[in-house]
Every structure is written in C-alpha cells, then in structure tokens.
A and B are shown apart, each in its own frame.
Chain A
Amino acid sequence: EAGVAQSPRYKIIEKRQSVAFWCNPISGHATLYWYQQILGQGPKLLIQFQNNGVVDDSQLPKDRFSAERLKGVDSTLKIQPAKLEDSAVYLCASSRPGGTGELFFGEGSRLTVL
C-alpha cells in the first residue's frame, strides 16, 4: 500500500511569512496527526483528526497555526505568520480504525524560518 505522502519536503521562508504543508494519509486511515519535531527533540502532537473532526488540538498555537481536513482524507497545516521558533520538521501520520495505536509516518516537511 502507498505510504503517507507529504509536501513540500523542504521550505525556507522569512519570519512573518506564511507557509502551508499538505498531507495525504494511507487510504482508509481515519485518524490523521500532525506533529512538530524540533531538532534534538521528540515529536510533539499539534493536532489529531478523526475523519474530518478534531479530536485534540490542545497544543496547537491557534494564533498562528491552523489545520483542516475537509473531506476526511488529506489535510493541510498552515502557519501564518511564521516565527523563528517554528523552524522544525512537520510530520504527518495516520492510523487505521480500531488499530492498536500504531502510527504510519510520512517523511516530513522541514521548515526553516530566517
């Protein structure tokens, strides 16, 4: 089966600019996650979707970050305006319904904010 697809793989922007990342999960996976991984740290959950509904967005900085999954399939994560501390790898993951919690990860989108 095809894996989790993410784009772009790399993005460099100036602070205060905006950026958007796209994720297409594995077909049939109802749950989709966005994680932020800062260099040297473990991934931190930003938002979790179940189909097109938000399950957990408690750690999403809502003043600048937004995410949507309108049709319950692919998802977009947006940052506007970006700050220097947003430099990180943004990982998308998905899991199958009724699974054991195993996540399938994409290769990530590396953001550098200058």
Chain B
Amino acid sequence: SQTIHQWPATLVQPVGSPLSLECTVEGTSNPNLYWYRQAAGRGLQLLFYSVGIGQISSEVPQNLSASRPQDRQFILSSKKLLLSDSGFYLCAWSAGHKVNQPQHFGDGTRLSIL
C-alpha cells in the first residue's frame, strides 16, 4: 500500500533562517506531488505541484520554493523565512497521469516562526 511521510512534525525557526521540509511517498511511482499551507482554522492553499522529476509549478508567488530531486521526493525550501510563513504545511500525492484521482495527505509539519 502507498504511504506518505513528512518530517519534521514540528519546527520552530527564527525569522530570516532557511527552511527545508521533506516529503516522500512509498508504494507508487510517477505520483503527482503537492505542497499546501493551512493557516490556523483556515482552508488549504496550494503552494506547488509537480507532475514529474524537476517539474514544479507554483500557484502563489512567495519566498518559498519547491524541488523534486527524485520521483517520490518533494522538498519545500526557503532561503529566508518570514513571520508570515508560519502555518501548517501539508504534502500530498495523487496517482499520476490519471483523471479524477483523490489526493492523499501526510500528517503535516507545524512551522512556527519566531
């Protein structure tokens, strides 16, 4: 069966520090991968999605970036964190090259910027 892993579960970082959040998927190949941010008590904002290695689409301009160095690995990064980057970051995957497929989420990373 397929599983998705995100780490770390929680992270406290000072303003201006770099960020690297990692997500890996097991049990499937060529997945579509997604990064979302969820503000407290709010909905899901799509940040990036990827349909293949090295292919990244950005939905919202910001100081975050994403990379997909391997088929089942998705990384969210920042060179300099802002206070507004605080939130709950979720990685998700769906079956690639298929329509009407559900997205499956990891358990997220709670990021607090001090």
Chain A bound to chain B: no
